[in-house]
Amino acid sequence: MSEDTWAGVRERVRGFARHSGADRVFGARGHGFRLGPVLGEEQLLSLEAELGVALPAAYRSFLLGVGCGGAGPHYGLMTPVRQDDGWQWRGVGLAYQGQPTTAEFAGRPFVAEALQTELDALDADEPRAADFADDDAYRQASAAWDARYEELYDAQEAGAVFLSEQGCGYTSLLVTTGPHRGEIWEDLRPMDRGIVPTGLDFGRWYRRWLARTAQELDTADARP
């Protein structure tokens, strides 16, 4: 996907910001329809060198042609920025800044599905006080179980970028490694649904937001 695919999108988003009903669009108070500056090719190459893999084509061309973060689905897009300790995606200019992702973490294998199987098995094997002879043994087993659960839970996000905060603990992730590279997945673990695919790549996901926002603003204009 080339930068031409995104022709006119930056101006279109700016047009949303000038609309009288813009602040009523879901998430708009998080990003204000502001977009960060585009990234240069040298910056992208530096980021990809640290990531260890090329960014998905649709997302890469968006960074080059539209902006590095800001206005987008939900409460807005996280922004890749160079920190003293390397590249990270951070909530630059967003009211709800979400969880930062380092390039090193995003470059690891994406194995969320396999880890969910492990988590399900672990969940079924949670220690029960009745199975232990004394409280100390139960506490030790519970502490070990908690530590392993947290380790697997956190590792499910590896190989992906925390891209957008949806609210109520739900998030959108951009997969950066493996066979699902370029896809948008949703972290629905707060409702015990795991990390699941949306069936969309970044380009379709962002353009769906554009169309939905335009329709919402058009509907607002038509109201008496």
Per-residue pLDDT tens, the chain, 224 aa: give them.
455 689 999 999 999 999 988 988 999 999 999 999 999 999 999 999 999 999 999 999 999 999 999 999 999 999 999 999 999 999 999 999 889 999 999 999 999 999 999 999 999 999 999 999 999 999 999 999 999 999 999 999 999 999 999 998 999 999 999 999 999 999 999 888 889 999 999 999 999 999 999 998 986 554 54
Name the token pair of 111. Answer: 């194995």
Calpha distance 102→35 (Å, rounded): 21
The Cα 43–Cα 40 span in angstroms is 5
pLDDT in tens, 8-61: 999 999 999 999 889 889 999 999 999 999 999 999 999 999 999 999 999 999
Q: What value, to the nearest 5°, has the Cα angle with vertex 53 and ends 90 and 33? A: 35
pLDDT in the model for residue 193: 87
Which distant-in-sequence residues (6+ apart) come within 8 Å of 125 by Cβ? 145
What is the structure's pLDDT at 219?
Answer: 67
Comparing CA positions, the residue from 181, 212, 222 lying closest to residue 72 is: 212
Encoded amino acid at 110, one letter: F
* Calpha distance 127→224 (Å, rounded): 60
Beta bridge partners of 173: 162, 185
Structure tokens at 166: 């949806």
Provide the whole-model pTM. 0.90
